[in-house]
Amino acid sequence: MVKMNLDELKNFFCKFSMDSLESLGTLVLSSNPLEIALYLGVYRAEFNKRREEYEGINEYDYICRIKNFRLIELESNVSLFNKKELTYLYDTLCKAPKKDIISKYKKIIDNKLSDDLSYDELLILFDKYNITQLDVIKNIFQYIKDYDMSLVNSALNDVYLNDGEQYYHSYEVPVYSDLSNVNSLLSDKELEFLYYLVECADSYLSSLQENYRNDIEDFDIEEYPISFVSKLENSLCEEIDSRRSSKKFRKILI
């Protein structure tokens, strides 16, 4: 199951309305204690804002909550959630006792996640980067642990070998370089997909910093591109936000 850190989980739960949180609770309350605590924190904060309206909500029994299960935000705007959040939600939905009730939500997520790039689309994406930048991308991708990278790496290696053969005949080994200057050249679909991958890498690198710095005697955080990946993630996010605000971003809906 995909893992999310504390901030990611809190931001995920905060995207839901009170009604949706009520339904989501029927699934989350069977999760691990950390997820339950974060969910309850967001739920109680939202409940307190609308206490008068929802005063009698705790009188609903479990069967009633399952029967009225609804995730409004997922129905109305699935693009509100990133791929990591959708994968987490999908895994959570699979635990639901009433499969018929949540089947439509799994279908929504399936359709959204099918927006992953095909092999040919990946070739087009990676061909937009020069050999120096492909070196950087290869380095970043080794820190992605929550996504099957076999197809992605296959396309990346094919482009890299083709460009690299031409490059090394004429130039010296490239230096580590920035990638953000290519962001504007990416299609909306490429941008979303690359953002998801970089986000996965950033999440893993952040976990290294949090979990191993004090546990491993010779652990050197400077050996990992934490700052670089974080800056790249931010630049991709800014490009997405810019396109959305200018109404040029093509939202991929079901």
Residues 102 and 138 in one domain: no
What is the per-residue pLDDT for 238?
93
- Quote the DSSP letter at residue 114: T
Residues 102 and 142 in one domain: no
| Displacement of CA 237 from its chain's centroid (Å) | 12
Which of 161-165, 189-193, 196-200, 230-234 bottoms out in mean pLDDT, i.e. has the lowest?
161-165
Whether 250 is covered by a domain: the verdict is: no
- pTM (global) more than 0.75: no
Q: Residue 212: pLDDT above 80?
A: no
- Quote the DSSP letter at residue 173: P
- Domain boundary residue, one of 113, 145, 169: 113
Whether 23 is covered by a domain: the verdict is: yes
Residues 136 and 208 in one domain: yes
Whether 252 is covered by a domain: the verdict is: no
Q: Residue 175: pLDDT above 70?
A: no
Residues 67 and 136 in one domain: no
Q: Residue 42: pLDDT above 90?
A: yes
Average confidence (pLDDT) over 32-47: 89
Q: Which residue in 219, 236, 10 sits closest to 140, CA to CA?
A: 236
Residues 136 and 72 in one domain: no
Residues 150 and 197 in one domain: yes
pLDDT class of 99 with cuts at 50, 70, 90:
low
Q: Which residue in 71, 80, 149, 76 sits closest to 106, CA to CA?
A: 71
Query: Average pLDDT of the chain?
Result: 80
Residues 100 and 136 in one domain: no
CB 121 within 8 A of CB 189: yes
Residues 241 and 143 in one domain: yes
Residues 203 and 124 in one domain: yes
Domain region containing 88: 6-113
Domain count, the chain: 2
Whether 251 is covered by a domain: the verdict is: no
Residues 164 and 186 in one domain: yes
Residues 233 and 132 in one domain: yes
Residues 93 and 143 in one domain: no
pLDDT digits (tens, 9 = 90+) for 73-94: 999 888 888 878 888 898 888 8
The sign of the dihedral angle between the CA atoms of 67, 94, 21, 242 is negative
